[in-house]
Structure 1
């Protein structure tokens, strides 16, 4: 089935990556919603929730940086298999640990993703293989379908976040135990991802070019990394885990209702990505990234001041409809403006500042929530993202790709 997602001009041997992305998206979907619920059930507060979210992103940044600096010493297959095993260990760790500091350590070294997008160690590894397995004409379409796969399955995963409450109602089992079982499921999914990565060819480049550190593409990558860091710092203020916390506190939503919201928003985001390749062909990759992002940021700011839930819901769903259209365009743009043998390093070094920057903001957002400034993270996120969009457009509007 997943082979049908591979567009003409791309190698069908990369189908296992699509299956793995689907499974990871599903796992990330329910974890992002359940993480604050689980941590609050253990007895942690808003600051601790933000700190653990920060640790997951900071750890992903360090791991991704290591991939960019030293990843060329190993095959892409070996690295992806190792990352999948780390996913298994992460699920088992969160399911079995209740103390804050050990959990913070597992969050740092593990693969947990509390955001709506993929900011994990898997990202540069999969992006490099996708870019190598497609020609330039098919690349944006391939990345759009890859992003769509992840977004759709993340939406389904968000809906699955209501499973613990249903299990409690049906069996009377302790709620904390039901929540812990979902992290066990996360680890089991990691095993399935490990099996899938094992089916990939040993080479990561269909053209036989060995991955190399950044050299010719360094200046462009530095500019992009600096800009992406602003976007990611802003995004870290409203990670799915933190946005779910905001919905819990502001409107008193139940876990099932919150999961349904993230399912709907994820579904809208996934569907919108189908339009990204066609839009990019008409107005260009950079314009697609910028002029779909700005309306999404304005909707987020509006939702922060919405006086009642229905209006906030509409604004957040409109935001979801347009905010993800930049994802395949951004991935294709990065892969198209760097040398082919530097793609893995470029994917890593553009992802690292994003992870580092987004790692700084969840603690700040958690503190603002706990201090009664619940609207501040949403407003700050919207304003910073608009500034990023305008700076990106000014820097790369004339760039040929």
Structure 2
């Protein structure tokens, strides 16, 4: 009967979170990313406080943070190399169970050695961005859920949800203090947050169960397809013809990641304290504002990408953001510095959905999981290496140098990326 149009209408209203032309099961990925961002936003702030409350030194806090980032990098690399042997849904559900185990372990373990092992093999994320093993797996599934402009819009929603929920999660880091006022022991309140993190891992396990069971899903009309229906070209595989391009992108992303690691949120807060005397409570509100600004700005990324293309969106929003960072390093007063940093926050993350969509669009469908992994790994490695350099510079009195290095390296990355990829053809 010629009445199919009546059926999609209510369904589209029910899936309003998704852009048109996206498979309905992608909603589970968006909700999962939102939950992960809430957890990461809170624990990135609480992890140092928790470890210090357990009696560890600041140096130990740094070692544990490095272990989490290095472990995430190796796990992500392993997914890229061998993840094609398993169905993506199985890998995601396995990672969710690992997240649950990480939360429970950090709740009840006190010794340095077991915590160090758990930090290395677990899913904890002490940085503001996503450097976990979840990222390449979710990116590959998102790429299978849509094509073309719909894919860019889907990646934008994914990034916007992550930024907004991470900002809310940072505010949620004040919950242990509230519980302390209600009579709970401070350490118990911190442990409770890690236990909640573990419970969120179980929620992710349930959400990932809504994904198609096989290794393929399509695509542009918003209807999911099962793995045995997916064409052979859509099946997950290792890197093939796109290997040189992926390695080039991974090298470029490593520069950007190293630069970003010089100015993770904790170090930026330290700079604001040293340079202008900004107190932690004020810094928390500032980071909440920057998180909301970056989330809102990413809503404009798909529209901008339609007008100027994915690569130009990545470069020509990132470049002025990094100029603002360099100027903020030289700002004579707090209002000007905060204003420049807020402008940077409104621009610097617009490249995130475009970058994810760009990587997925320049490789063949079978290479997407591997490509997402091999381009995500440098973020973890850089985040593990460069904060120690930045902290040493701040401790040595070179307060402006971390911001200057970060901004100048990122400007170099932007220009090199544009030059290296401006003639690359998209696969679709």
* TM-score for the superposition, normalised by structure 1: 0.93
In the alignment, structure 1 residue 159 sits paired with structure 2 residue 184: no
C-alpha displacement at 1:61, in angstroms?
A: 0.8
Change (3 A) 1:39 1:244: farther
Distance in 1 between the 2:362 and 2:374 partners?
Answer: 14
Distance 2:328 2:350 in 1: 20
SS of structure 2 residue aligned to 1:5 = coil
> Could you tell me how far 1:98 is from its partner in structure 2?
4.0
Contact 1:236 1:362 in 2 (8 A): yes
Q: CA 1:126–1:157 in structure 2 vs 1: closer, same or farther (change >3 Å)? A: same
Q: Does residue 202 of structure 2 align to residue 202 of structure 1?
A: no
The residue that corresponds to 1:328 in the other structure is 353
Task: Report the alpha carbon displacement of residue 249 of structure 1 after superposing the two structures with TM.
Answer: 5.1
1:224 paired residue number: 249
Relative distance call for 1:21 and 1:298 in structure 2 (3 A) is same
What are the superposed Cα offsets for residues 4-43 of structure 1, whole Å, 9 maximum, x if unpaired? Answer: 1211111011211111011001111111222233334444
2:199 to 166, 177, 188: 188
Structure 1 counterpart of 2:369: 344
- Of the candidates 185, 204, 209, which is equivalent to residue 174 of structure 1? 185
Q: Give the count of matched residue pairs.
A: 400
Report the secondary structure of 1:113's partner residue.
Answer: coil
Aligned position for 1:395 = 420
Provide the rounded CA distance (Å) in 1 between the counterparts of 2:203 and 2:369.
24
Q: 1:97 to 1:247 in 2, by over 3 A?
A: farther
User: In the superposition, relative to structure 1, how do residues 108 and 371 fare at CA in structure 2: closer, same or farther (>3 Å)?
Assistant: farther
Inter-partner Cα distance in structure 2 for 1:103 and 1:244: 26
> Which residue number corresponds to residue 20 of structure 2?
8
How has the CA–CA distance of structure 1 residues 60 and 305 changed in structure 2, closer, same or farther, with 3 Å as cutoff?
Answer: same
Structure 2 match to 1:279: 304
**Structure 1: segments with no counterpart, 5+ residues:** none
**1:132–1:204 Cα contact (<8 Å) kept:** no
Offset of residue 137 of structure 1: 2.9
Change (3 A) 1:44 1:148: same
**Kept after mapping to 2: 8 A contact 1:36/1:242:** no
Determine if the alignment matches structure 1 residue 125 to structure 2 residue 137: yes
Structure with bigger RCO (C-alpha 8 Å, 6+ apart): 1
Q: Calculate the aligned-residue CA RMSD, in Å.
A: 2.1
C-alpha distance 363-103 of structure 1, shift in aligned 2 (>3 A):
farther
Deviates more, 1:89-98 or 1:118-127: 89-98
Structure (1 or 2) with the larger CA radius of gyration: 2
* Residue 380 of structure 2 corresponds to residue 380 of structure 1: no
Match for 1:146 among 158, 170, 179? Answer: 158
Structure 2 vs 1, CA of residues 216 and 113 (structure 1 numbering), >3 Å: closer, same or farther?
Answer: same
Deviation at 1:381, TM superposition (A): 1.4
SS in 1 for 2:15: helix
**In the superposition, relative to structure 1, how do residues 248 and 160 fare at CA in structure 2: closer, same or farther (>3 Å)?**
farther
CA distance in 1, matches of 2:73, 2:356: 17
Say if 1:36 and 1:49, in contact at 8 Å, map to a contact too: yes
**Deviations along 1:238-260, whole A, 9 cap, x unmatched?**
22233344445555555543332
Secondary structure, aligned partner of 1:72 = helix
Contact 2:34 2:162 in 1 (8 A): yes
Residue 387 and residue 273 in structure 1: after superposition, are their counterparts in 2 closer, same or farther (change >3 A)?
same
Deviations 1:354-379 (A, max 9, x none): 22222211232333344444443222
Deviation at 1:78, TM superposition (A): 0.7
**Cα 1:371–1:39 shift into 2, 3 Å:** farther
Confirm or deny: 8 A CA contact 2:25 2:210 kept in the other structure: no
Instruction: Give distance in 2, aligned partners of 1:365 and 1:224.
Output: 25
Counterpart-to-counterpart distance in 1, 2:418 and 2:390:
28
| Cα pair 1:52 1:107 within 8 Å, conserved | yes
Match of 2:381 in 1: 356
Moved more, 79-88 or 256-265: 256-265
| Kept after mapping to 1: 8 A contact 2:235/2:365 | no
Query: Corresponding residue for 2:322?
Result: 297
Q: TM-score, normalised by structure 2?
A: 0.87
Residue matched to 1:259: 284
Alignment correspondent of 2:32: 20
